Structure 1
Amino acid sequence: MGSPNGESDVIVIGIGGIGSAVVYELAKRGIDVLGLERYSIPHTMGSSHGYTRIIRRAYHENPQYVSMITRAYERWRDLEDAYGEQLLYETGSLTAGPPTSDLVDGAVTTCEKHSIDYEQLGADETAERFPGIQLPAGFEAVYQSDGGFVRPEAGITAHVRLAQRAGARIRAREEVVGWDSTPTGVTVTTNKGTYEADRLVVAAGAWTGNLIESLDDRLSPERQVISWIQPEQPEAFTPDRLPVFLVSDEEDIHYGIPIFGAPGVKFGRHYHLNEVV
C-alpha cells in the first residue's frame, strides 16, 4: 500500500454525473479536492452514460421536483458557458397515455401548479405534429416546449476538465477499498495508496452500499435496459422533429429520445423494478 499522497480538504469517491459536478463546484470555490474513480472517466459501468438523458419540467412524478429541475436547467447552461460546448438540447417533451393515467394527470398537475406552459394534444393531433409518434386512439398527450435531453458523458468530461483547471486532482482507474473516520477527518484507502482529508463525499452510485455499511440493505441497484432502434424513416426522428417522450399503457411506462450520438432512436422502460444487479 502506498503512503499518503498529501492531505486534501475534501475527497470525492465516484466521478460520474454527480461526483464530477461536486468536484467542479468545490474546486472553483478554491477548495482542495481529490476525486477518485475506479474506472475510466467517463465509463459505461455506472448510470451516467448512454449519450443522452431526458430533462423535463412537466414532471409527472411529483410537482415538488420542479424547483430543483429549474435550477438544473440553469446549472447546465452555466456549465455550457464555462466549457464552451452545448450540453443541453431542447426538443420539447411529450408525456402520453390514457387521459386518466398517472402519467398524463401528473404532468398536467405539475404544469398547472408551477404555471408551466403546456399543450394537450389528442392522438391524431400528436401524429400530425410529430409523425414519428403514433398513439393509440383515445390517448392524450401533454407537450411542454423546453423539455429535451442532456449529454451525460460530455457533462462529466466538462466538469472534470474545468475542475482540473481550477486545481482539482482526479485519479481514474483507482478503486477505493475502504475508508475510516479519524480525529481530524477521514482516511481513504485505494488499491494504489492512502489519502487523508477533512471531509468525504461518497458519490459511488451502485457501489455506495459497499462503502457505507449502514446503507447496504437500503440500496438495491436495478438493471436498466436501453436499446437504439433504427427507424425506416429516420428523418422523422431527429431532434428537430421528435420530442423526448414518455408513454404509459396499463402495465408500463416507456421513454424515447431522438436520434443523437448513436444510430437509432433511444428507447427503454421507465422502471425496472426488482431487476436487481
Structure 2
Amino acid sequence: MTSNSADADVAVVGLGTVGSMAAWRLAARGQTVHGYERFGIGHDRGAFSGQTRRFSVQSQREPRWTPLALAALDLWRELEVATGRPLLHLVGGVILGPADAPALRAALRSAVDGGLAHEYLDAAALADRFPQHLVRPTDAGVLDPLAGFVRPEAAVVGAARQARELGATLFEHTRVLDVSADAGGVVVRTEAGTRRYRTAIVAPGARARDVLAHAKATVLPRRLVQAWYVPHDVDRYRAEVFGVFERVGDVNVYGFPTVDGATVKVGVYTEGHPVVYDTDNVPLTVGPALLSHFRDTVAAYLPGLHPEPVATTVNLEGYTTDGQPLLGPAPGTDRIILACGFSGAGFKFAPVVGDVLADLAITRHTKHDIGFLAPDRPLATWPAEVVVPA
C-alpha cells in the first residue's frame, strides 16, 4: 500500500522497451504505479521501433542470459494472452559465420550447456539449408528452433495499456528532469513539479545520461540504422524457409523474414555507431557513405535482395563500455533502480527485465541471476573525447 507521504508506490521513468514492461509487472502485483514518458507511448524515437526485434535463447557471449531468455519466453506468452494479440513468432533462426568465430562458438556452447535444441551445420549443410546467404567454405551455422521475432511497437503499447487497465497512471509527453533519493523515499522532478515515491525505476533507454548522473560517462547514446530491401523472389524469404539470422565474425549482419510479403529487413553493424550528443535532435538522414556500406554488404552476402534499400529507420540505443546493461540498485541507494544501456540486444528480454525490476522495487530481491549486470560493478567510463564532442 502507498504510504501517506508518497504519491504512489513506484515511479517508472521511461515507458519504452523496459519501462512499459516494468509498469505492467508492478501493476499486476497490485502496486500503485506512476509512469513517465518523455514522448508518447509507442513513439518512434527510441530503441524499439522498426517492426521486428530478434528473439533467441542461445547466447553469443554471456551464458547467464540464456535462463533469462527462457523466462522471457513465458512472459511474452502471458502478455499475448493479456493483450489478445500475437507478439512473439518463433520461426526459428540461424547464427552463421566463420566456424571459429567466438560468437558462433559461444552460441553453440550455450545451446549444449543449456540442453537446448539446436543443430550444427557445416558449410555444405548451411548452403543447402539457406541458399539465400553467401556461404564460404570456412563458414558454419548453429540453428536455434527457439529463435524468432517480436513485434516491438505492439508489445510496448500493449504492456502500457495493460498497466493502465490494472490501475497505473501514465504521464505521456512529460520530461523528467531529476530523480533523487532522500531519507523519506524518492523525489521525481518534472517541468510540472515534483512527486514523491517509495521507489523509482529509471529506464530512459539511450537517454539515460539526460536523467542519471551515474550514466553520464557510462551509457553512450548511439545511432543505429535499419533498412528494408526488395527480394527478387519474395517466397524465398518467407518465415517457413528463411527465419531470422545473424551473421557474426568478420562480417556482422542480422535480418528477418518478410513480414509484409514485400520487403526484408536487414541491419548491418558498423564499427562504432555514431554518437548522438543531442538526444532532442537526433540526425535522421542516412548519409551516402553508410548507404554505400549497406549496399555493398547486402549485395555480397544476401545476393537475392535488390541491394538498394527502399526504406530506413534510425534508432537511438544506449551502449555501455562492456556491452552489458546496468540493471539493479543505483550506487549508494536501493530506492532508485536502474535499467539502461541494453546496447541494442535487450528487447528479447524485456518482460523478464520488467519482472526483475518489479521484484527489486517490492522486495529488493529477485530469483534471477543478475549480479553480472549490477550498476556498481567495475565499469570503465567512455573516454572524454567520445562523451563530449570536440
Could you tell me the TM-score, scaled by structure 1's length? 0.91
Moved more, 157-166 or 180-189: 180-189
1:21 alignment partner in structure 2: 21
- What amino acid is the match of 2:144? Q
Q: Answer yes or no: is 1:232 the counterpart of 2:239.
A: no
Give 1:1-277 correspondences, 5 Å limit.
7-250=7-250, 252-260=251-259, 263-270=262-269, 273=272, 275-277=274-276
1:130-168 CA distance string (max 9 Å, x none): 343332233111111121011111111111111111100
Segment of structure 1 superposing worse, 187-196 or 209-218: 187-196
Provide the rounded CA distance (Å) in 1 between the counterparts of 2:192 and 2:261. 35
Contact 1:186–1:198 (8 Å) recurs in 2? yes
How big is the shift at 1:271?
Answer: 6.0
- What is the rounded CA distance, in whole Å, between the counterparts of 1:217 and 1:276 in structure 2? 13
Q: Give the C-alpha shift of residue 211 in structure 1.
A: 1.4
Deviation at 1:253, TM superposition (A): 1.5
**8 Å contact from structure 2 (residues 209, 215) kept in 1:** yes
Letter in 1 for 2:206: A
CA–CA distance in structure 2, aligned partners of residues 116 and 164 of structure 1:
36
Matched residues in 2 for 1:198 and 1:249: separation? 46
Number of aligned positions between the proteins: 271
**What do you get for the CA RMSD once the two structures are aligned?**
1.8
Q: Deviations over 1:212-265 (max 9, x none)?
A: 112211111222111111111111112222111111242x31111111259521
Deviation sequence 1:66-90 (CA, Å, 0-9, x none): 1111111111111112221110001
Q: How far apart are residue 123 of structure 1 and its match? A: 3.5
SS in 2 for 1:23: helix
Residue 276 of structure 1 and its aligned partner are, at CA, apart by 1.4
Ranked by relative contact order (alpha carbons within 8 Å, sequence separation 6 or more), the top structure is: 1
Contact 1:185–1:196, Cα closer than 8 Å, also in 2: yes
State which drifts further: 115-124 or 152-161. Answer: 115-124
The residue type paired with residue 96 of structure 1 is L
Gaps of 5+ in 1: 1-5
- Structure 2 residue matching 1:81: 3-state secondary structure: helix
Deviations 1:8-43 (A, max 9, x none): 111111000100010011111111101010111101
Deviation of 1:206 after TM superposition, in Å, equals 1.4
Specify the SS of the correspondent of 2:267. Answer: strand
1:3 aligns to what? Answer: none
Q: Distance in 1 between matches of 2:138 and 2:268?
A: 22
Q: Does the 8 A contact of 1:223 with 1:272 survive in 2?
A: no
* Runs of 4+ that moved beyond 4 A: none
Farther off after superposition, 119-128 or 228-237: 119-128
Residue type of the alignment partner of 2:246: L
Structure 1 residue 273: deviation in Å? 2.6
Contact 1:28–1:163, Cα closer than 8 Å, also in 2: yes
CA drift of 1:270 comes to: 4.3
Between the aligned partners of 1:124 and 1:255, the Cα distance in structure 2 is 21
Residues 103 and 249, structure 2, Cα contact 8 Å, conserved in 1: no
More deviation in 105-114 or 181-190? 181-190
What amino acid is aligned across from residue 8 of structure 2 in structure 1?
A: S
SS in 1 for 2:100: coil
1:51·1:261 contact (CA, 8 Å) conserved in 2? no
For the 8 Å contact 2:256–2:266, the answer to whether it is kept is yes
SS at the partner of 2:34?
A: strand
Instruction: For residue 224 of structure 1, give the secondary structure of its aligned residue in structure 2.
Output: strand
TM-score in terms of structure 2 length: 0.66
Distance 1:207 1:261, change over 3 A: farther
SS in 2 for 1:18: helix
